[in-house]
A and B are shown apart, each in its own frame.
Chain A
Amino acid sequence: MNIKKTLVVIGNGMVGQHFLANLVASPANEDYEIVTFCEEPRPAYDRVHLSAFFSGKTAEDLSLVEPGFFEQHGITIYMGDKAVKICRESKTVVSEKGITIRYDKLVLATGSFPFVPPVPGHDRAQCLVYRTIEDLEAMAAAAKNGKVGVVVGGGLLGLEAAKALQDLGLKTHVVEFAPRLMAVQLDEAGGAMLRRKIENLGVTVHTGKNTSLITDGDQCVNKMCFADGEELETDIVLFSAGIRPRDDIARDCALDVGPRGGIVINNQCLTSDPDIYAIGECALWNGMIYGLVAPGYAMARTVVAELAGHTASFTGADMSTKLKLMGVDVASIGDAHAKTPGALVYTYQNGDSEVYKRLVVSEDKKQLLGAVLVGEASGYGTLLQYCLNGIELPENPDALILPSRSDEPVVLGPDALPMSAQICSCFDVTKGAVCLAIEAGCTTIDALKSATKASTGCGGCSALLKSVMNSELAKQGFEVNTDICEHFSYTRQDLSNLVRVEEIKTFTGLLEKHGKGRGCEICKPAVGSILASYWNDFVLKTEHLGLQDTNDNFLANMQKDGTYSVVPRIAGGEISPDMLIALGMVGKKYNLYTKITGGQRVDLFGARVDQLPPIWKELIDAGFESGHAYGKSLRTVKSCVGSNWCRYGLDDSVGLAIELENRYKGLRSPHKIKFAVSGCTRECAEAQSKDVGIIATESGWNLYVCGNGGMKPRHGDLFATSLDKETLIKYIDRFLSFYVRTADRLQRTSVWIENMEGGLDYLKSVVIDDKLEVCEQLEQQMQLVIDTYQCEWLTTINDESKLKRFRHFINSDQPDDQVVFVEERGQIRPADENEQKHFKIMEVA
């Protein structure tokens, strides 16, 4: 029998847990009995997203450990017990609670602790740090009775902590010793821009400040005194002045540590003892402590590989970062400070929109050495690829940071990337791995996602993944043309931009300028829809008529036998008995098949083309208007009965539904759009399965977007909560206009968002934070559509020249003799083929 060796892991933090998870999935698992010491009262949790604790995430939500993980894999975990001593001679570890374990291999994953400068008074009440869940609980408790909070340290973490203090309702200050914020990552101008943005958000920033004493305050619990004589009263002092590796236990057993701390490791992550490894923030590799989680994970994987008998090495990690600090995008890549000899620097600064970008380029202008982005970081992915993979820069590198004319960020062609390029950073998927999966038969994004896991994390790489897939498929001879059709070498989004920017008003105009040939059933309706979205001309105007798809062409829905169905608008599904009777009378008079639709209105089937105008005349006289059921446009706003009648109702869902339906009726879009409004979370209107769903809550309206029922159901994403009606409508205006601008032809919102680079967060940043600075335009675009609304049927029946088309024959009043109905369940339906033959014979006879 194989006798297992014992492996002890000290520390169950992010890296320790990543190590365990990788180990149990590796063959080395067979060889070891695993024991781990966890000082904290709970197993590993996501420290990176620690701040989410304040926005409602619980400790369980943040946990990185699957329930039952330790039991299932036979791992012994000593929870809330700290390892206090290592004896290398006897190869044992002793814990605070007195447990002694003999080890064969030992892994140190003790992480780091926040550095607190030894200022007199640093240990006073409400002087806190920001590292563990307990720290956050202490902060929340202190904030309850406080008014002011100061963060000492203006680095990444400090700014994140400042956001937390501000969210807790405190007047917040940041005190930084260095002359600028984020001194490690940003240059002076970038730091200044960041400072401006953060001060605009209501945080006071003090740079070049040296704290000399913390003592009793007059109005607040504490008072900070600075070397320059100034003072600042505050209830909470939060230290975020850097981290120090937790290397005590290694020092005590005489392992090598660095002069400024950190357990020295080699490329195999071995310490000076060949049976002891160190990984994560406690480890010092090549004189470096990495304060980021990804390098720690790489170390963990290296040790697992070593234990499994493979050769592996950790050879450093990239420290590039991109993050959102208090809503401000900040990114830093490589040699941000241009320390490389001969490096050239390009900067772009837009004071207006508070964007700052800087590129550091090699002397020969061929390689990207580093970059800094503040305020706008959508180019991060591309720049990082240039930098990490040494890809040769374009002739004018500054094009990479100058604002591009379109809404799209500059993207690096996928062919330029080497096989080793990392496509998905969440799951460390390389281009090579993606290509292998494509060769193995994955030809769709969905297939690639499930095969490689790429793009299933934050989703930030989805656009890159798609372009790699397209280019690889093209190489393998698959047709992957993104052109809308043979007449235009553009996507729908391109065409939409051309129409808008060049103010093109007709299909012919667009075709002459940007297309070729005569058009087809793909591009004509697509352009017809774009023109209608922007300029909202009457769709049956002579120059637009030939563009309209089957249903738009006669403003009714063609059915299988060539007859049409008619759907008048019943906003919000609310209809008076009189209107219902009027509708019934029309159905009866023209002998139409009548059915209630899923969108809470009535569909009348079996109208011949020549019957459409008289039917509509009667409907309009009775007070109805077009329901646009024929268009790729807003269909219905479904509603539950809401607070007027329902005993659970929190708000008037019907009233809002009617208002919204009337606001957006007639809007032409890449595909049909459905809304619903529910009066409470019981959700009787099924709003979460709609493109736009709204649910009333105690504190206002919750907005969901991009849901879908139908063929491929998708649950809507919660977009914003507790909105008043004005804000709600503003967001919907922007959301719809942005969809109209950027979606592909016949792309529902659900698919649109799935394919959007950056996904929901990006959409929010555009619609809520106005990151692209287009919200004003988007609102104007919607306002134009609203202002120019017309009932297309009213316009049609009032225009003799338009009515001429509504006959089956141009030269005869006869109807189509092929349209034959039979009766079923007391109503008409089209005769099937057999029944038709029967009829013909009867007629002849």
Chain B
Amino acid sequence: MSRWQEVCTIDDLQPDSGICALIEGQQVALFYMPKEAAVYALNNYDPFGGANVLSRGLIGDIKGQPVVSSPLYKQHFNLETGVCLEDETVTIPAYPVRIENGSVQVRITHA
């Protein structure tokens, strides 16, 4: 079962950057691109570096895909799907996210 959870307000997000939220015991990295009015949610854990750091990575796009790059060893993860661009066998959890009346909401799907 899963439902939309209010996490923070849109003002808490960092434009063109990331923050981390704790939702049902999961570390979720939230990324915000104001120009595209887009918010993305990925698990914060970097499987290559073995640390909870993805929210502190740089975001942008590679060949049209929105991505975050790990601050440790620079692998890219697709912000929509969680697929690693350098190694497609590695995927990290990506979560549905929306903005409702200025509040940021995430739906955690339990595997």
Contacts and interface: CB of A to CB of B under 8 A. Distances in A.
Contact of A816 (B8, B27, B63): B27
B8 A810 contact: yes
Interface in A303-332: none
Interface in B17-69: 17, 19-23, 27, 30, 33, 35-36, 45, 49-53, 56-64, 66-67, 69
A167 interface: no
B69 A553 contact: no
Contacts of A523: 60
A810 B16 contact: no
A814 B74 contact: no
A520 B67 contact: yes
A554 interface: yes
20 contacts: A486-B62, A517-B60, A518-B36, A520-B58, A520-B62, A521-B57, A521-B60, A524-B60, A546-B17, A550-B57, A553-B56, A560-B49, A808-B20, A809-B27, A811-B7, A811-B23, A812-B22, A814-B22, A816-B52, A818-B45
B51 A519 contact: no
Interface string A478-499: 0000000011000000000000
Contacts of B60: 487, 517-521, 523-524
Nearest to B51: A562
Contacts of A398: none
Contact of A810 (B7, B15, B35): B7
A550 B68 CA distance: 12
Given A520-B61, A525-B58, A549-B58, A810 B19 contact: yes
B51 A546 contact: no
Q: Enumerate the 5 nearest inter-chain pairs by beta-carbon distance, A residue then B residue, closest first.
A: A546-B16, A550-B71, A520-B60, A562-B51, A521-B69
Given A561-B51, A562-B51, A810 B12 contact: yes
A401 to B, nearest CB: 42
Nearest to B66: A518
A532 to B, nearest CB: 16
Interface in A506-539: 508, 517-521, 523-525
A809 B22 contact: yes
A662 B23 CA distance: 45
Interface residues of A, number: 36
Interface of B: 7-8, 12, 14-17, 19-23, 27, 30, 33, 35-36, 45, 49-53, 56-64, 66-67, 69, 71-72, 74
Contacts of A811: 7-8, 21-23
A562 B53 contact: yes
Nearest to B23: A811
Given A520-B62, A546-B59, A809-B27, 8 more contacts: A517-B60, A518-B35, A518-B59, A542-B15, A550-B72, A561-B51, A562-B49, A816-B52
Interface of A: 486-487, 508, 517-521, 523-525, 542-543, 545-550, 553-554, 558, 560-562, 804-805, 808-812, 814, 816, 818, 833
Contacts of B15: 542-543, 545-546
Contacts of B49: 560, 562
Contact of B58 (A487, A521, A818): A521
B69 A520 contact: yes
B14 A517 contact: no
B77 to A, nearest CB: 12
Contact of B51 (A542, A547, A818): A818
Contacts of B58: 520-521, 524-525, 546-550
Contact of B12 (A546, A562, A804): A804
B20 A809 contact: yes
Q: Which of B30, B58, B74 has the most CB atoms of chain A within a 10 A radius of its CB?
A: B58
Contacts of B64: 517
Contacts of A560: 49-51, 72
Contacts of B21: 809-812
A814 B51 CA distance: 16
A545 B58 CA distance: 10
Contacts of A814: 22
A549 B60 CA distance: 13
Nearest to A524: B58
Given A521-B58, A521-B69, A812-B22, A545 B17 contact: yes
Contacts of A808: 20, 52
Contacts of B61: 517-520
A809 B106 CA distance: 15
A311 B109 CA distance: 83
Contacts of A546: 14-17, 58-59
Contacts of A486: 62-63
A520 B58 CA distance: 7
